[in-house]
A and B are shown apart, each in its own frame.
Chain A
Amino acid sequence: MAGFMISVKKIKKSFNENIVLDGISLDVSKGESMVVIGGSGTGKSVLLKIILGLIKPDSGKISIEGQDILNIGRTKFLDRFGMLFQGGALFDSLNVWQNIAFRLVKGQHPMKKSDAKDIALQKLKRVGLNPNVADLFPSELSGGMQKRVGLARAIASSPEIIFFDEPTTGLDPIMAGVINELIREIVVEMGVTAITITHDMTSVRAIADRVAMIHNGLVQWTGPIKDLEKSNDPYLNQFLNGESKGPIEAIR
């Protein structure tokens, strides 16, 4: 147990009559990059939000390094996290560097503005953006740039755990490749524990150490990335090959 950075045990969640997670369990080791795949609407995002405490589960337990998150203070727990949202979720009212430095300036341990700006500029450089975008507003950036700024914001306070919610959605294939590479590099160089949710198989191959596939509110298959292609799981194979016929029923 203690070996796992994040341990999700039998989480259940339904919205009205719709069961989204049906007692799902998932363990992620320290420093591991876990990629969660599954069709749209299978509860991948809900799972991340439950771990972050943004949504309350109906039942089940989540622990970080063996400690139940209910026993760790909420802010103390969130201080260890970084998250890249699907749409970037940058604050429109703040410019790029203020977005990146948000936690450094407004968080629990506020630092001097000039120091925070220096860190923000470093992180901006790390995600491959020119320092002259620092004073632009999010609405002035392209989709790919917004994702990069979101990434810079997620890593600004050097978190131990980073979540990536569909990092390549809405990007062209080349930009998607760039973001995948950046994520992989950052995960390796910072030694963070990462959970990525995606249905982009290129992302899976670029980012993952381990893969878990969610279907019907449960983990259908999990294993290291090298076992992915060799698996005989019919659900996984249908997903990997993008076939419309198979055990997963597609709604037409």
Chain B
Amino acid sequence: MTIYKSISSFFKPIGRSTLDLFQIIGKIFIYILETLIHLVRPPFYWREFASCIFNIGYLSLPVVGLTALFTGAALALQIYSGGARFNAESVVPSIVAIGMVRELGPVLGGLMVAGRVSASIAAEIGTMKVTEQIDALTTLSTNPMKYLTVPRVLAATLSLPILVAIGDIIGIFGGYVVAINRLGFNSATYLNNTLSFLESSDIISGLVKAAVFGFIIALMGCYHGMNSDRGAQGVGKATTNAVVSASVLILTTNYLLTELFF
């Protein structure tokens, strides 16, 4: 009997957490489905959408821009030191461009925006939930999914590719500045190599990734905010969960999408 008990007490937590995990995955899928259904059904709140574009897109520009600038600059140095071992320093411009556009632009941009936007969405919606504002929306004949989730998810999905495109340019510029000033590259050759080796599929795959990451960022913020527990602690937990889950999902889907585009 005691052996049975100790065996079951060993397996119980494993079973419980597995069940919990599947339950959360199921809930998130239902949430995605609901978001998509509300997206295509009127009414659409244009004013909310516009303010989300401003908050999520425009106000994230400095973060994404700075991240890209320094990443591009560091990348140029690293590739130069790697390339020098094979007498292949000339690959610096093309690899900086490909690396930024295909991988680092969307992933680092996505992670930075996840930290900024998922957190703020989860905290805002979580507080609304805790102070009964979500219930108030419903009693005022307004669907919270339509009014809060749809504008945020759509705004993030559309603005992330634009942010990342700008970030890509800034990142390549960062690499260019370092290569010209520190590594002794010729300006015209550098730019020429950057452009001639970059294919449109590189750019498109990066922007598609960015759109998917934008969807994940806003969705995780909204989902965790809407499911926030009561009180300040509940909102804090929702915010943490939103950022962690958005970041992990970005890294996971990044690998899957890279396999897909490979």
Q: A and B from one assembly?
A: yes
* Distance between Cα atoms of A92 and B131 in the complex (Å): 10
Contact across chains for B142 and A102 when beta carbons are under 8 A apart: yes
> What is the 8 Å Cβ interface bit string for chain A, positions 26-57, against chain B (1 contact, 0 not)?
00000000000000000000000100111000
Contact across chains for A108 and B141 when beta carbons are under 8 A apart: yes
The answer, yes or no, to whether A103 is at the interface (CB within 8 Å) is yes
Q: How many residues of A contact B (CB 8 A)?
A: 23
| Residues on the B chain within 8 Å of A112, using CB | none
Contact across chains for B135 and A87 when beta carbons are under 8 A apart: no
Tell me how far the C-beta of B216 lies from the nearest C-beta in chain A, rounded to whole angstroms.
24
| Residues on the A chain within 8 Å of B135, using CB | 49, 52, 54, 85, 89
| Residues on the A chain within 8 Å of B128, using CB | 91-92
The answer, yes or no, to whether B147 is at the interface (CB within 8 Å) is yes
Contact across chains for B131 and A89 when beta carbons are under 8 A apart: yes
Interface of B is mostly: helix
* Distance between Cα atoms of A108 and B128 in the complex (Å): 22
> What is the 8 Å Cβ interface bit string for chain B, positions 137-158, against chain A (1 contact, 0 not)?
1111110000100000000000
> What is the 8 Å Cβ interface bit string for chain A, positions 67-89, against chain B (1 contact, 0 not)?
00000000100110111011101
Contact across chains for B147 and A106 when beta carbons are under 8 A apart: yes
Tell me how far the C-beta of A247 lies from the nearest C-beta in chain B, rounded to whole angstroms.
30
Tell me how far the C-beta of B43 lies from the nearest C-beta in chain A, rounded to whole angstroms.
8
The answer, yes or no, to whether A131 is at the interface (CB within 8 Å) is no
Q: Which residue of B lies closest to A102 (CB)?
A: B140
Other-chain residue from A49, A89, A92, A103 in contact with B141 (beta carbon distance below 8 A): A103
The answer, yes or no, to whether A170 is at the interface (CB within 8 Å) is no
Tell me how far the C-beta of A148 lies from the nearest C-beta in chain B, rounded to whole angstroms.
15
Contact across chains for A78 and B138 when beta carbons are under 8 A apart: yes
| Residues on the A chain within 8 Å of B127, using CB | 92
* Distance between Cα atoms of A103 and B139 in the complex (Å): 9
The answer, yes or no, to whether A107 is at the interface (CB within 8 Å) is yes
* Distance between Cα atoms of A85 and B132 in the complex (Å): 7
| Residues on the B chain within 8 Å of A89, using CB | 131-133, 135-136
Tell me how far the C-beta of B137 lies from the nearest C-beta in chain A, rounded to whole angstroms.
8
| Residues on the B chain within 8 Å of A49, using CB | 135
The answer, yes or no, to whether B45 is at the interface (CB within 8 Å) is yes
Contact across chains for B142 and A106 when beta carbons are under 8 A apart: yes
Other-chain residue from A91, A106, A108 in contact with B136 (beta carbon distance below 8 A): A91
Other-chain residue from A52, A86, A91 in contact with B139 (beta carbon distance below 8 A): A52
Contact across chains for B139 and A83 when beta carbons are under 8 A apart: yes
Given contacts A87-B131, A89-B131, contact A107 B142 (CB under 8 A): yes
List the 7 closest pairs (A to B, CB-CB), nearest first.
Answer: A89-B136, A89-B132, A103-B140, A83-B139, A107-B141, A85-B132, A78-B141
Other A-B contacts than A91-B136, A107-B140, 10 sampled, CB-CB below 8 A, are A52-B135, A53-B138, A85-B135, A87-B131, A89-B135, A89-B136, A91-B137, A103-B140, A103-B142, A107-B142
Binding site for B on A (CB under 8 A): 49, 52-54, 75, 78-79, 81-83, 85-87, 89-92, 102-103, 106-108, 153
Binding site for A on B (CB under 8 A): 43, 45, 127-128, 131-133, 135-142, 147
15 contacting pairs across A/B (C-beta < 8 A) = A54-B135, A54-B139, A78-B140, A78-B141, A83-B136, A85-B136, A90-B133, A91-B137, A92-B127, A92-B133, A103-B141, A106-B43, A106-B45, A106-B142, A107-B141
